[in-house]
Amino acid sequence: MSAISANTAAAAGSTDPNRLAELDSQEFLGIILAELQNQDPLSPNDTNALVEQLSSVRSIESDIALTDKLEALVSDNRVANASSLVGRRVEGIDDAGNSVVGTVGAVRTNDGEPSLLLEDGTRIAVERLTAVGDFAESLR
């Protein structure tokens, strides 16, 4: 068994080959360093493959960081859009499933999800809005 496969099995705690995909960059780097330290100097391993794998791990980490930043941006945008409704009349469905009409007094967030707090204390999730603006005449 090569040093890298032995270290991978040790890091995985089992012989499950799918465990390699669950390694974070620190664990993967540890495996690469162990492989380099334990290789036979008269028959070195292909370092290009190791560098490619390390590059792949860095690319994946970069993609994850970008995804996290985009999710935060989308959340901030949803809150900003909800904030633009403060002072406006809205119609929607409250948490109890009742149709409510009122003026937005504030915006609250719960786990990054914005909801509108009407002046009478009623709360409406933004995705449950049915109308915004001057719609009183259409209700008659």
- Residue 131 sits in a domain whose CATH number is 2.30.30.30
The 8 Å CB, 24+ separation contacts for 68-76 are 75/112
* Better pLDDT: 56 or 12: 56
Q: What mean pLDDT, rounded, does the chain reach?
A: 78
* Domain limits for position 123: 85-139
Q: Do 101 and 45 lie in a common domain?
A: no
Q: Do 55 and 91 lie in a common domain?
A: no
Q: Do 126 and 95 lie in a common domain?
A: yes
Using alpha carbons, list the distances in angstroms from residue 111 to 49, 72, 114: 42, 12, 8
Can you read off the two tokens belonging to residue 55? Answer: 């590059």
Please list, residue by residue across 52-89, b when 16 or more beta carbons sit within 10 angstroms of its beta carbon and e when fewer do: eeeeebeeeeeeeeeeeeeeeeeeeebbeebeebeeeb
Q: Do 10 and 70 lie in a common domain?
A: yes
Q: Do 51 and 90 lie in a common domain?
A: no
Which residue among 77, 95, 115 closes a domain? Answer: 77
Which residue among 77, 105, 120 closes a domain? Answer: 77
Give the pLDDT mean for 102-125: 90
Q: Are 58 and 25 in contact (CB under 8 A)?
A: yes
- DSSP letter, residue 20: G
Q: Do 98 and 125 lie in a common domain?
A: yes
Which residue among 77, 97, 113 closes a domain? Answer: 77
Looking at the predicted structure, is the pLDDT value of residue 3 above 60?
no
Looking at the predicted structure, is the pLDDT value of residue 98 above 80?
yes
Can you read off the two tokens belonging to residue 45? Answer: 């391993």
| pLDDT classification of 11: cutoffs 50, 70, 90 | very low
The number of folded domains in the chain is 2
Q: Do 73 and 11 lie in a common domain?
A: yes
Q: Do 48 and 92 lie in a common domain?
A: no
Single pTM value for the model: 0.54
Bridge partners (DSSP) of residue 89 are: 103
Residues in the chain: 140
